[in-house]
Each structure stands twice: as structure tokens, then as C-alpha cells.
Amino acid sequence: MKFAHTLLAAAGMAAAFAAAPARADNFTEQDLEIWQSEFQSAVARGREVFTDPKLGSNGVTCNQCHPNGANIHPETYPKFQKQLGKVIVMAEMINWCILNPLKGDRLDLNDPRMVAIQAYITYERRGIPLEAGKH
């Protein structure tokens, strides 16, 4: 009797899993189109911010030191950054650059400009494997 009960329970679980809602990583074509459109909008906005002399107060832009997001290596964050003397995420380094070379005001992590800058930088390095911690 116990064996039959176990089989029924297993069959019930199998049916429940078969009828389970879609997992978070299952996307429809429409989902993918929306994601790509929104991401590309953020990338375009990031390029605008990256090249905007108004991000700082002295006319310097991010792309003067980092044309097309060069030499930023978003795939290596979080990592130890000697300018700050600790392990940081990329947004902290972006703020360091805004505060120092650009002489601007730091951006909140959820500021749309911060998100856009990170989208742009990451997009420019697409296809590069992640290597967190590498300097």
C-alpha cells in the first residue's frame, strides 16, 4: 500500500511540474524584442552621456580618455581598483572618474545616466568573457 501511495505522489508531482508556469528565463519572442529595444535605447543614451561635456564641470568627457568605452573592461568588475584602494563595482569607478577628471557630481547607482553609461560600456565589450577580479 505504501508503494502505491508513493507512486501516486510521484505521478502527482510530475503532473504539477508539467503544468508549472514558465520559469523566469523562458522568454517569448515579444519579450526578447522588448528587451533588445530597451537595451539598445539605454546603450544609445549611454553613448550620449559618455560624450557629454555637461556630465562634469570642466568640459572633459568620458570618451576623451576612453574612446568607445576603451580600457574600461567591464567584464573584470568587481575588482580591486588602486585609485580607491578596495574592491569595487564598475559604477564606483565611473563615479570616481566623474568626480576627479570630469570634476562633476557623483551619480546615484539608480540614476538613469549611470545605468545608461554602464549599458554603453558593457555593450562595447560584448562577446568578451567575464573575468571578475582581473585588473
Q: What are the CA-CA distances from residue 32 to residues 40, 43, 54 (Å)?
A: 12, 16, 34
3-state DSSP assignment of residue 81: strand
Kind of pairing between the strands at 79-81 and 86-88: antiparallel
- Asked if pLDDT for residue 23 goes beyond 70, the answer is no
| Average pLDDT over every residue of 1-17 | 51
> pLDDT tens for residues 38-61?
999 999 999 999 999 999 999 999
Does domain 33-134 fall into CATH 1.10.1660.10? Answer: no
| Average pLDDT over every residue of 32-38 | 94
Element (H, E) at 79: strand 79-81
What is the pTM (predicted TM-score) of this model?
Answer: 0.77
> pLDDT tens for residues 80-128?
999 899 999 999 999 999 999 999 999 999 999 999 999 999 999 999 9
- Asked if pLDDT for residue 4 goes beyond 70, the answer is no
Q: What are the CA-CA distances from residue 31 to residues 18, 38, 96 (Å)?
A: 22, 11, 35
- Written as nine digits, the cell of 113 is 545616466
Give the torsion sign (CA, 102, 81, 47, 42). negative
The residue ranges of every structural domain in the chain are 33-134
